[in-house]
Amino acid sequence: MPELPEVQTQVDDLQVLVGKKFLDVRTDSEKIFKMPYKIFVQEIRGLKIKSIKRRAKFLLFFLSKKKILIVHFRMTGHFLIDAEDPYIRATFEFSDGTILHYSDIRKFGCVCLSEVDTYEKKYGFDKLGVEPLEDEFTFDKFKEIIKGHKGTVKPFLLSQKFIAGIGNIYADESAFIAGIHPLAKLDKLPLKKQEALYNAIRESLTRGVENRGTTIGEYVDTKGERGKNQYSLFAYKRKGLPCLKCGTEMQRIVVVQRGTTFCDKCQKMY
DNA sequence: GACAATGTTACAGT
DNA sequence: CACTGTAACATTGT
């Protein structure tokens, strides 16, 4: 699934598009455009890409004329440059001939065009939590965020309004690395475990980025190449396999409708 | 042909 | 009202 590391990998790859000008767009799946497709094409033609950034799991293309292209991959979306697969839903052509494909098996992803001045309010970017790999996400900041938080660890990690960019893979990994049960109550965690969780979040996400993402289903980079982080996972999708720390069989439960894998012995409730 | 996969949002409940 | 938890939705491969 595209989470922070996968989206970051794509954004890094997409930097080759900065400075290019949109010439045309084609699609056979108009529904992924969150506005009338014809208007979208009309508006984006001739606009130039000034910069490409990531916020949470969103890709933000800052364009000329104060426009912004916002893309979310949801479960199975990704971009391809000079590469193809059977699930291309939209194709962007640039004035220099460069071709950018948007591929998405499930078609849950979305693409829309907005205004630089208003998109944050319009799409709720102002409600997103802190970026976990930025310098501002210190342990002090983390303690502040969890202060008075009554909920449990996994739903907290998945919610985008406290910390942005974590999904099912990195939530399970973070809880495992910290040695905390996914259903442990946040306000019951001793200080040392809070610190362990903070470090685990940074560690799992950083490793994910270094490994260019986790490819278990379909995620690939813009060249269609697989990530390598699936070889470094401790918990995600390891149900029934021996825990890599203690050898105990890994358990699977469902939390907020997400499959959740953990080690009963290594991950405690406190 | 039922089901599993999951990020987001709308909504119910406290 | 702020916060937490749950259900529904998008679609397709197995």
pLDDT tens for A246-263 read: 998 888 888 888 888 889
Average pLDDT, chain A: 89
Span A86-96, average pLDDT: 93
Positions of A marked catalytic: 2-3, 57, 258
Find and give the residue nearest to B8, measured CA to C1': A74
- pLDDT higher than 80, residue A32: yes
Confidence tier at A63 by pLDDT (50, 70, 90) = very high
Report chain C positions within 7 A of protein CB atoms: 3-13
- pLDDT higher than 80, residue A219: no
Nearest-nucleotide field for A167 (CA, C1'): B7
How many alpha carbons lie under 13 Å from residue A180 in its C-beta half-sphere? 32
Q: What is the pLDDT of residue A43?
A: 93
- Across the beta sheet with A22-27, what order do the strands follow? A22-27, A88-94, A99-104, A77-81
Q: What is the pLDDT of residue A148?
A: 76
Footprint of strand B on the protein (CB under 7 A): A 1, 3, 56-58, 72, 74-75, 106, 108, 123-124, 158, 160, 167-169, 257-259
Low-confidence winner among A84-88, A97-101, A216-220 (lowest mean pLDDT)? A216-220
How many alpha carbons lie under 13 Å from residue A161 in its C-beta half-sphere? 5
Burial A208-235 (b: 16+ CB within 10 A, else e): bbebbbbbeebbbbbeeeebebbeebbb
At which residue do the structure tokens 């364009």 appear?
Answer: A63
Q: What is the pLDDT of residue A65?
A: 96
Q: What share of chain A is helix, strand, coil (3-state, %, to 5)?
A: 30, 25, 40
Per cent of chain A over pLDDT 70 is 99
At which residue do the structure tokens 């767009």 appear?
Answer: A25
Q: Which pLDDT tens digit goes with each residue over A104-135?
A: 888 888 898 999 988 888 888 888 889 999 99
Find and give the residue nearest to C8, measured CA to C1': A257
